[in-house]
Amino acid sequence: MSNPVLVVVGAGPGIGAAVARRFGNAGYDVALIARSEAKLEQLGMALQDEGITAGWTDVDITDRDRLEAAIGRFGAHAGHIDALHFNPSVTRLKGPLELTADDLLADVDLGIASLLTAVQAAVPSMPAGARVLVTGSISADRPWVEAASLGVQKAGLRNLVLALDAALAERGVRAMTLTIAGVLAADTPFAPEHVAEALFAAAQTPDADWRPEVLFTGA
C-alpha cells in the first residue's frame, strides 16, 4: 500500500515547512506548492536529505488554472491526497483608512479564494478519512489595525472552512482551521513546530470527535 500524501499550499520556511516535516516523519509523502522556485527546491531537498519523500511545484496560487493543475497532477501521480494544508495569507501593513479596496480584494484572493480552488482541485483525489487543515489566526476576532486585511482574510477563511467541512462531511472528508492565539516565533510556545504538531493531532481526530475550529493557545 502506498504512503499517505500531504499537499502543502504555501510551503514557506515557517509553518509550511514544519507541517511538511511533521507529516513526513510520520510516513507521509509530501507535495509542496509555493511561488518561489528557489525556496521550494531548498525546502524539498532538505526534506529529502532527512529521508522524507518530497516533490514540489512553483505556482502563483492566485493563478487558479495553474494551482488547480498542480494539485491535480499530485493527486493523479499518487492516486490519492490524504491531507491538504493551506497556509498562505498576506500581511499588508496598511490600516483600514489607508487600505484600498483593490488591496483588500487582492489579499482576499490569495488568502481565501485560493483555498476554495485548492480544495475543489483536491477533492476528486481525497478518500474518506482525508483532511483539510488550515492555518487560522486570532486576528479573525481581534483585528490588527495596522494590517487590517489580515483579520478579514482569517475571518473569511474560517467561515469558508466551516462551510467546506459541512459540505465534505458526507464524503467522509473533514476540514478544520487552527486559530493561533499568539505570535509565531521560534523557541516559544507558538513556534512553527508546535503549530505543526497541533495540526497533525487534528488530522488524526476521528469524525465522531471532529471540531472544524481548534483554538491553539500554545504548546
Q: Which domains does the chain have, with CATH numbers?
A: 5-216 (3.40.50.720)
Q: Output the pTM of the full model.
A: 0.95
Q: What is the share, in percent, of the chain residues with pLDDT greater than 90?
A: 98
Buried b (16+ CB within 10 A) or exposed e, 168-184: beeeebbbbbbbbbeee
Mean pLDDT of 191-215: 97
User: Quick one: pLDDT at residue 76?
Assistant: 95
CA distance 1 to 121: 24
Place of cell 504555501: 10
Convert the pLDDT of each residue in 67-114 to its tens digit: 999 999 999 999 999 999 999 999 999 999 999 999 999 999 999 999
Q: Is the pLDDT of residue 1 over 90?
A: no
What average pLDDT does the chain have? 96
Mean pLDDT of 47-59: 96
Grid cell in block for residue 139: 486576528
CB-based burial, 120-150: b 16+ in 10 Å, e otherwise: ebbbebbeeebbbbbbbbbbbeebbeebbbb
Pick the closest to residue 88 from 1, 25, 153 (CA basis): 153
Tell me how long the chain is: 219
Nearby residues of 28 by Cβ (< 8 Å), 6 or more positions away: 3, 4, 5, 6, 82, 83
Half-sphere CA count of 2, side-chain side, radius 13 A: 13
Q: What local confidence, expressed as pLDDT, does residue 219 receive?
A: 86
